[in-house]
Structure 1
Amino acid sequence: MPPVTNSSPLRIWVDADACPAVVKDILFRAADRCTVQVTLVANQMLRTPPSRWVSAVQVPRGFDVADAYIAAQAATGDLVITGDIPLAAEVLKKGAAVLNPRGERYTEATIGERLAMRDMLEELRSSGVATGGPSAFSQADRRAFGNALDRFLQSALAGRPSGMPGLA
């Protein structure tokens, strides 16, 4: 698949297969408001609003195919929206910023701990221990994501290098 091209230096890449619809809606509005390219990547056909700032890429079905596409395309200064910890770790190494759909920032300083926790929970699940899943997506999660995205965009569009001050 060819890379998405855009004259704007900032792109938002969305791991869209598991991204809540309400988060996508927030991203669609932000794309038009801030004239920033938002690209949803999934292994299924996605509906997007008619906007020059929103696009979707359908990748073939397969384990982590969408993640691999995002990892290959994301660049320094981009923002990746994902709850996938290994993908977050990979794009952080490339200089991209990462938010999960609940508005939590992943950083180089915190991703190691997140990877270890993910691996431990995976090991527990594989040994038959019920670990439960994430809580239902709430209004507070929606608000946290919207606020974190707004802070990122204000900072990034003002030209500050880290793009996410105040999100520690």
Structure 2
Amino acid sequence: MNIYVDADACPVKDIIIEEARAANIPVVLVKSFNHYSLDDQPNGVETIYVDTGADAADYRIMQLACPHDLIVTQDYGLAALGLAKHCIVLHHNGFVYSNENIESLLNSRHTQAKMRRSGQKTKGPKLFTDEDRERFKATLQRAIGS
């Protein structure tokens, strides 16, 4: 198993790295060049930079991921692709994407995009809380078996 992280806006990278290192699981952070950093990563963590195109990180993750790998993303499209490839896919809020919930999530995203295009206001994401961090950590631990 490898863990692939859609890392540009991921607020739980520290948790992923800590838990993966404890379980001896490699982590790959996929970021756009807009988020380039000279910071060193700990052993077992690789950073891959991609072009700044809308889905460049998603495409790179899907090139790398194999069945039973774990993907962390808030992008429903990437989650759907990961599920189709038989990956475990987690949202940073601590829920697990599944074949049972992805269609509803994609439909909701589509409806919200249509509303925005027509000039309607939609709500943004809820604030990320300490409870979300703890829920993600517990979900990640279950997913990697630690």
TM-score calculated relative to the size of structure 1 = 0.82
Q: In structure 2, how many angstroms separate the alpha carbons of the residues matched to 1:25 and 1:79?
A: 16
Q: Match of 2:76, as an amino acid? A: I
Which residue number corresponds to residue 27 of structure 1?
A: 16
Asked if 1:135 corresponds to 2:117, the answer is: no
**Runs ≥4 in structure 1, deviation > 3 angstroms?**
46-50
Cα 1:147–1:47 change in 2 (3 A) is farther
- Among 111, 120, 139, the residue aligned to 1:120: 111
Structure 2 residue aligned with 1:166: none
Distance 2:102 2:19 in 1: 26
Q: 1:133 to 1:42 in 2, by over 3 A?
A: same
Percent same amino acid among aligned pairs? 37
Q: What is the distance in 1 between the residues matched to 2:39 and 2:138?
A: 22
Contact 1:31 1:54 in 2 (8 A): no
Count of aligned residue pairs for this structure pair: 144
Q: Distance in 1 between matches of 2:51 and 2:40?
A: 22
The match for 1:152 is 143
2: distance between equivalents of 1:109 and 1:151? 19
List gaps (5 residues or longer) in structure 1: 1-9, 156-168
Q: Is the 8 A contact 1:124 1:131 kept in 2?
A: yes
Describe how 1:1-168 pairs up with structure 2 within 5 A: 10-20=1-11, 23-44=12-33, 45-46=36-37, 49-154=40-145
CA offset digits 1:68-101 (Å, max 9, x no partner):
1011111111000000001100111001010011
Q: Quickly say closer, same or farther: Cα 1:107–1:47, change in 2 above 3 A.
A: farther
Q: Which runs of 5+ in 2 are unaligned?
A: none
**8 A contact 1:92–1:98 mirrored in 2:** yes
Distance 1:80-1:48 versus aligned 2 partners, 3 A rule: farther
Q: CA RMSD in A?
A: 1.3
Greater relative contact order: 1 or 2 (C-alpha under 8 angstroms, separation 6 or more)?
Answer: 2
Distance 2:80 2:3 in 1: 16
Q: Give the CA deviation at 1:119.
A: 0.3
CA distance in 2 between counterparts of 1:64 and 1:96 reads: 18
Q: TM-score scaled by structure 2?
A: 0.93
